[in-house]
Structure 1
Amino acid sequence: MFRIYLVRKSLSAKEDRWMAQNSEKIVFIVFYDNIGYGVRLLLSVAKAAGCEPHLILFKRETGYAPLLKRGKEGPDGYQFFYNGLLRDGDYAVDRIKDEEVEILLDRIAAISPSLICLSAMSFAYEFCKEIFPNIKKRFAHIPILSGGWGPTLEPQKFLEFSDYVAVLEGEKTVQYICEALCYGRDFDDAPNLVYNKNHQLVRNPVSPPLKESDLDALPFPDFGEENKWLITNYKCLSGKEFVNHKVYDIFSSRGCPMSCSYCMASKYSNLYKSYSGDRCAKLRYRSIDVVFRELKVAIRNGATFIKFKDDVFPFHPKWLKEFLERYPKEIGLPFFCYLNPIFHKPDCIRQLKAVGLSVTMAGIQSGSQEIRERYFSRKESKEQIVEFVRLLKDLDIQYAYHLIYRNPFERESHLKESLEFVSQLPYSGVFIFMLVLFPGLPLKKRIEDERPEPIAVLTSEWYALLHSLSLQGPFYRTLAKMIYRLNIFRSHPKLMSGFFLVPLMKEFWTRFLGRYVRGTQSYFTQKSRCNQRQKNSNIIGKNPYTKIPEANHGDSQGVSPMISNC
C-alpha cells in the first residue's frame, strides 16, 4: 500500500547502507516567491524518502512601478493599485537578466542534481519557456519535472520544456520519484505524472487526494537555511543571508469553503474529478496537535509572528473551540489569518482577537451587490461587510480592503454603486487587483461565451483611484467626492496618484522613525544591561568585563523544522 510517511520507513541494514551511499540530489526551482510553502513541504518529503533536496528561489516577490508608467498587461505583467499607487507585479517589475540565468545554471551545476523540479503558477509559463531550454541544453542528461497550478491546468504547455508534469497534489509523486532515484529505478509509472512517450501523451493514474490523517502524517515544511539559495540582483544568496525565522507561514487546512468564480482554490475538487473521476473534499483540516507541534518548532527557531495562510481560517466549531482554548497557553503569539463574515461571526472574531489575532484582510472584491453575487459568486451582503469591518475597527485589528477592477461585466453604474458603498466604510489601506483569468475558471468561460464589451480602461482606473481616495481618510474622501462631482481627471486618472504621495511619505517616515526609536531603545537597553553587569561584577569582586552567565531557558540551538511528528 503506497502512503505518505513522516520519517523514512524502517529499512534493513543492507538497504540503509545502500541509501547512505546513493542519496540522490534534487533541486526545486521557484520563481518570484519569497516563501514557496508547498515546495518547502516537498523538500521535507524528499528528504524523508532518502534524497538530498535543494531549493533555489529565483527572484523575490515584488511589486512596484514608476508613477505614470503603464506596464505590460496580462498574467506575467500583473498590475494592481496599493493605496492609489500603481504597482506592476513580479516579472514586469524585476525582469530576469541573462546574467542571473547564468548564475542559476552555475548553481544547478554546483549542486549536480539527478532531477530538476520546477514549481510554477500559470504566469510563469511565458518566461519559463525562455529559460528552461537553456537549462535543458546545458543539463540534457537531467530530467525536468514541472508541477504546481500552471502545469496542473495546462500540462501540455509546460511539457514544451519539461520531460514530466506532475498534476494536483505532489507529495506522493515526489516520494515515489525520490525512492526510485535512490534505488536506481525508473519512475515513469509514478502517480499523477503526465509526459510524452513515442509521440503520445501519457497520463498516469492519479492517486487519491490526501486524507486528513495523511495531512497530519506529513513532515513539517523545511524553512531551514541549509541548501537554500536566493538569486536576485545579480547575486546568489545562501540561506543564512535571507531566511527570516521571525515570521512563520503555516496552513492548518487545505481547500476553501467559497466558490468564487475568479479563483482556482475552490475548484480543486472539480480538478480532481476531471483527472481521475474522484472528487476531493472541499475542506480538509490538520489536527490542532500537529499544527501546534509545528508552531512550537517555529518558536524554538525564533518565530515571533504567525501567518495562517488558509484561504479561510478554519471555522469548524470543534476545531475552533480547541484552538481558542489552547492557543494562548501553548503558542501565545500574535497572528494573521483570513476571515470572512459568512463563516466568522462577531463573537468568533472577538474570541480570536482575545487570543492573538492582530491582522486580517477584508475581501470586498466589489461594492456592487450584483457584481459580487451574479458574477463573482460571493454571497456576503453589504450589511454583513459593513458590520464586519466596523467590528475589526472597534477591536483594533489591522486590515486592508481587497477589490477587483477591470471586470468586463462591470458597467459604470456598477462602479458608481461600488464607490458609494466604500464611502460608508471605515478608513484603511486598500489593494485593488486587476482581474486575471486563468484556464478552467468559471468566470473565464462565461466571458468567452457572453463576450461582454468592457468599459474603457481609463474609466476603470478613474474609479479604482476614487475608491482608493475614499478609503484614505476624511480629507481624501471629501476630495474623491469633489473629483467625482466635477468629473475631472477622467482622461488622465494616473495624475490622481499624486494625491497619494503624502500618505505614502507619512507611512515611510512612521516606519523609519519606528525603527529608529526601537533601535535607540535597544541601544539604551543594552547599555543598561552592560552597566548592570559591571555593577554585579564589581560586587562579586571579578573583572568588570567578565560576562555574567545568563539563565538557560531551553534549547538555544533551535530545532530543525523537519523533526518527526512522532
Structure 2
Amino acid sequence: MPNIALISLYGVENNGVRAISSLLKKENINTYLIFFKRWVNNDIRPPVEKEKEMLISLLKDLGIDLVGISFTSPFLKIAQDLTKRIKDVLPAKTVWGGIHATVKPDECLGYCDIVCRGEGEYPMLELAGTYANNYSLKGIKNICYTEKGEIIRNETRPLIQDLDSLPFQDYGGSSKFFIEGRMQNIDPLNYSRELRVFASRGCPFNCSYCYNSILRKLYKNQKYHRIRSVESVIAEIQYALDRFKAIRKIKFDDDTFIFPSDWIREFCAKYKSRVGLPFEILFNAEFMDKEVLKMLKTAGLKRIQVGIQTGSKRESKEDYNRDFPENKIRQFATASKGLGLDAVYDVILDNPMSTFEDKKALIDFLLKLPRPFDLFMYSLTIFPGTELCETLLVKGLIGPGDVEGEANKSFYQFRLTFSYPRKKEDLFVACIVSLTSKSFLPRPLISLLMRSNFLREHPLPLLWFAQISNCIKLLYILAKMSMEGSLNIWKFKEYGTPKRFLIQ
C-alpha cells in the first residue's frame, strides 16, 4: 500500500480530508494529514518560499507515494504552484479534490494527475488499492484522469446515505503536521477553543450563490440532505474532546441545523448529559419553532446564526433563489431574545443586481428586529459554476476575472470591511447596515442618517462614525468571549488587526 499525504490548504478543520484519512487508516493505509496554513477572515496570505520548501521536504522525508490536495476555488493558483513543485521533485501521483476540482475537473487536470469529484472517502480508498498496479484508474467512480491525451470522466458514485457507517473524523495523533511560518508535528486543533462538528451532509436549500446549487445537479434524483444518528454525533464529540483539552465551545457547522423532532429531543437529552459545553448552530428561520428553541437552550445552545442575506423579497427570490420568510424571522428574533439566546444575522452586500430600494429594504428590516443582535456582513463572492455566477456572466455584470479561482477577493473581502473600494452609495449603505446592530445607537438616529442625501453623496463622516461604533462593539464582544473562555490569539486575529476590523 502507498504512503499517502492529504494536504488541506488554509483549513485546519477540513472535515473532508479528516474523513478520508479516517477511512484509509481504518484499512491500515499509512496516511498523513498536512494542514498548510489556516484561514483568517480577510487576511489570507500566500505562502512564502520557506513554507513551500518545508512542505516539499516533509513529503520527501515521509516517503510519500500519493499526494491529495483539498482546496476551494480562491486557492486555485496556490494549488497549481504547490503541485508543480511536488511533481518537479517527487515521483508521487497528485490528486486534487474539493469543491473546485468537482466543479472544474477538466481545468484541474491540466495541473494534477487525477481529480476526485464529490465525496472522496471511497474513491481514495480504491485508488490506494491500485497502487501495486500503477494506479489503474478505470472504473473508480468519481475519478477523472487523462489517458493518451483524452480526458476520462468515470461514473459518478452515489452519495453516501449511511453516514454512521463512516469512522469518526481523524483527530489528534502523531500523523498530523501544521505548516505556517514553521512546521509543527501537531494537529492544529490543539490550539482551538472551538470544535466544529457536522451532524449532516448537504443542504435542503438551493441558493444561487452557493456551491450546493452545483452539487444538487451533480447528484440529481438522490437524497442530497442526509443526517447522522444522534449517538454517532455525540460519540464523535466525546472522541474529539478526549484529544483536544482546550475546547470550550461546540459549533455545529451544518449548512442549517434542521432535524426531525424525535432527533432533536434525543440530541438535547444526550448532549446535555454527555457533552455539556455551550454550542451554537446555523439556522433557517423558515423552520422556526419556539418549543425546539427552548429544548436546545436547555441543552446548552447559546448562539444562533441565521441567514437573512437581504431584506428585499425581489432580491431574495430573483437573485438568490431564496424565500424571504419575513414573519418567521421576526418570530425567531422575538423568541430568541425572550430565551436569552445570542442572535447573529448573515447579510450579503455588493450584489451588482441590487437596487437602492433593495438595499434600503434590508436596512428597514434590520431596524425592526429586536436588539441586541450581531451581524455577519458578507461581500458577495462569486464562485465558479454557481447559478448566480452564470447569471452575472450572461448579463455582463462581471467578467471571468471576477470569479474566484481567477480572482481571490475572498482573501481580503469575504467578510465585509469598510476599507474595500466601493461606490459612494454602496459605502453609505454598508455604514448604515453596520449601525443597525449597535444597541447603543437609537433607531431614530440611524433612520435619520439613512434619509440624508448629503451623507449618501459624501459618506466620509458617516464612515468615521460607523468605524468608531464598530470598535466600541468589538471591544464588548472580545471582553465577552474572554469571560466565556473562548478567546485565544487565533480567535482574536479573526476579528481584526490594526489594518483590518470585521464588522459585527
TM-score bracket for this pair, using the shorter chain length? 0.7 to 0.9
The aligned counterpart of 1:157 is 107
Overall identity of the aligned pairs, in %: 26
Q: TM-score, normalised by structure 2?
A: 0.84
SS at the partner of 2:364?
A: helix
The aligned counterpart of 2:265 is 321
2:286·2:325 contact (CA, 8 Å) conserved in 1?
Answer: no
Deviation at 1:321, TM superposition (A): 2.9
Amino acid paired to 1:284: R
User: Of residues 30, 38, 44 in structure 1, which corresponds to 2:22?
Assistant: 44
* Superposed CA offset, 1:469-511 (max 9, x none): 1211242645533433333454565764433345425644774
The verdict on how the C-alpha distance between 1:123 and 1:518 changes in structure 2, with shifts beyond 3 A counting, is: closer
Distance 2:426 2:92 in 1: 48
The aligned counterpart of 2:178 is 230
Equivalence map 1:93-104=2 (5 Å)? 94-104=45-55
Distance 2:485 2:173 in 1: 27
Deviation at 1:143, TM superposition (A): 0.7
The verdict on how the C-alpha distance between 1:329 and 1:241 changes in structure 2, with shifts beyond 3 A counting, is: closer
The aligned counterpart of 1:418 is 362
User: Of residues 137, 140, 156 in structure 2, which corresponds to 1:188?
Assistant: 137
Deviation at 1:191, TM superposition (A): 2.1
User: Of residues 64, 77, 80 in structure 2, which corresponds to 1:129?
Assistant: 80
2:69·2:79 contact (CA, 8 Å) conserved in 1?
Answer: no
Distance 1:517 1:289 in 2: 27
Equivalence map 1:466-481=2 (5 Å)? 466-475=432-441, 477-481=443-447
Confirm or deny that 1:106 pairs with 2:57: yes
Deviation at 1:57, TM superposition (A): 1.4
1:266·1:282 contact (CA, 8 Å) conserved in 2?
Answer: no
* Superposed CA offset, 1:251-297 (max 9, x none): 11111111211112254231124xxxxx3313111112222221222
SS at the partner of 2:331?
A: helix
The aligned counterpart of 1:255 is 202
* Superposed CA offset, 1:141-184 (max 9, x none): 11100001000000122112100000011111111122333x55
Distance 1:356 1:242 in 2: 22
- What is the aligned residue count? 460
2:194·2:249 contact (CA, 8 Å) conserved in 1?
Answer: yes
Distance 1:353 1:514 in 2: 19
Deviation at 1:61, TM superposition (A): 0.6
The verdict on how the C-alpha distance between 1:118 and 1:362 changes in structure 2, with shifts beyond 3 A counting, is: same
Equivalence map 1:194-205=2 (5 Å)? 194-205=144-155
Distance 2:47 2:211 in 1: 27
Structure showing greater Rg: 1
* Superposed CA offset, 1:209-248 (max 9, x none): 1122xx111110012142222222x211221676246532
1:470·1:476 contact (CA, 8 Å) conserved in 2?
Answer: no
The verdict on how the C-alpha distance between 1:112 and 1:457 changes in structure 2, with shifts beyond 3 A counting, is: farther
Deviation at 1:44, TM superposition (A): 0.6
Deviation at 1:380, TM superposition (A): 3.2
What RMSD in Å do the two structures reach over aligned CA positions? 2.8
Equivalence map 1:147-546=2 (5 Å)? 147-181=97-131, 183=132, 186-189=135-138, 190-212=140-162, 215-232=163-180, 234-239=181-186, 243-244=190-191, 246-273=193-220, 279-301=221-243, 302=245, 303-425=247-369, 426-451=371-396, 457-475=423-441, 477-490=443-456, 493=459, 496-499=462-465, 500-501=467-468, 503-504=470-471, 507-508=474-475, 511=478, 515=482
Distance 2:189 2:268 in 1: 33
Amino acid paired to 1:97: V
Moved more, 298-307 or 240-249: 240-249
Q: TM-score, normalised by structure 1?
A: 0.75
The verdict on how the C-alpha distance between 1:458 and 1:350 changes in structure 2, with shifts beyond 3 A counting, is: same
The verdict on how the C-alpha distance between 1:117 and 1:199 changes in structure 2, with shifts beyond 3 A counting, is: same
The verdict on how the C-alpha distance between 1:458 and 1:196 changes in structure 2, with shifts beyond 3 A counting, is: farther
Distance 1:358 1:322 in 2: 19
The verdict on how the C-alpha distance between 1:242 and 1:341 changes in structure 2, with shifts beyond 3 A counting, is: closer
